[in-house]
Amino acid sequence: MKSKILIVDDEKDVEMLFRQKFRKEIKSGSLELCFAFSGDEALTVLDSEHPPQVVYVFSDINMPGMSGLELLEKIKNRFPQINVSMISAYGDSQNYEKAMNSGAKEFFTKPIDFDSLKKEIGALMSEKN
**What pLDDT is recorded for position 99?**
95
Predicted pLDDT at 87: 94
Three-state secondary structure string covering the chain: CCEEEEEECCCCHHHHHHHHHCHHHHHHCCEEEEEECCHHHHHHHHHCCCCCCEEEEEEECCCCCCCHHHHHHHHHHHCCCCEEEEEECCCCHHHHHHHHHCCCCCEEECCCCHHHHHHHHHHHHHHHC
pLDDT in tens, 102-128: 999 999 998 899 999 999 888 877 776
Residue 91 has pLDDT above 80, yes or no: no
What the chain holds in terms of domains, given with CATH numbers, is 3-128 (3.40.50.2300)
Tens-digit pLDDT profile for residues 39-84: 999 999 999 988 889 999 999 999 999 999 999 999 999 999 999 9
